[in-house]
Amino acid sequence: MDIKLNFINDSNDVNNSEIVIFAKNAATDVQETAVAWLVIQNCGKGDNHPFVYPMATQVGASDSWGNYTPLLDAADGQQFSMVRDTSGDVLKYSGQAASAREIEVLNALQQGAINAGIYKSGKLYAQATSIAPQQKAVFQFKPTIWIGVASQVVQGEVMNSAIVSSINTELSLLGIASADIVMTGGGSGPNATPFMFTLANVEYA
């Protein structure tokens, strides 16, 4: 069941800050670059911005020739492989992943690296790049989102690691059907306080 969320700007922000929402891939030890899944812009004081966090996930890939596959429905515990068939390079379901909590994308091509992406609502949610032949990308997500104030972030693009490390608010969506995400804080001068994000009016599934 999709989760209905509603961002509310209850802050003293005077800089028309952008709000970015993203995920972190829990399966990788490497500091994977995070993707700006949703960027909320021009949301003034007192404004709200409803959005849906879908349970459904899709997977897609691109090859070194600049071709992009269609998005395929993906669930935890599944593996997908980029293979060469008679028509060219295609992404196919290829069986069980090593872990029931992970989605895998295997580069089964003889040559050429691939990029793999996880999508929610048709928007890029996470990605792994330069996967060499016979290597695989592994994706695992906790039922959480990360949210913070940022500037110069573009929805669907990789974020600067300095921005990612400066955002430390992780909100658990476990068991939630709907909730408000309320932003407080901000302001200018000596009275300015850090931005805070809290869940309110939570309804459980």
pLDDT digits (tens, 9 = 90+) for 129-146: 999 999 999 999 999 999
Q: What is the predicted pLDDT for the residue at 33?
A: 80
The SS3 assignment for 176 reads strand
pLDDT digits (tens, 9 = 90+) for 6-15: 999 999 999 9
Q: What is the predicted pLDDT for the residue at 31?
A: 60
> Does position 32 have pLDDT exceeding 80, yes or no?
no
Stretch 178-204: mean pLDDT: 96
> Left if phi > 0, otherwise alpha if psi is -120 to 50, otherwise beta: which for 15?
alpha
Q: What is the predicted pLDDT for the residue at 30?
A: 60
- 120, 106, 142, 136: which is closest to 51 by C-alpha? 120
Rounded to the nearest 5°, which phi and psi values hold at 164? -60, -45
Q: Tell me how long the chain is.
A: 205
Contacts of residue 190, Cβ cutoff 8 Å, sequence gap at least 6: none
- Would you list the domain boundaries of the chain? 3-54+142-204, 57-139
Contacts of residue 152, Cβ cutoff 8 Å, sequence gap at least 6: 160
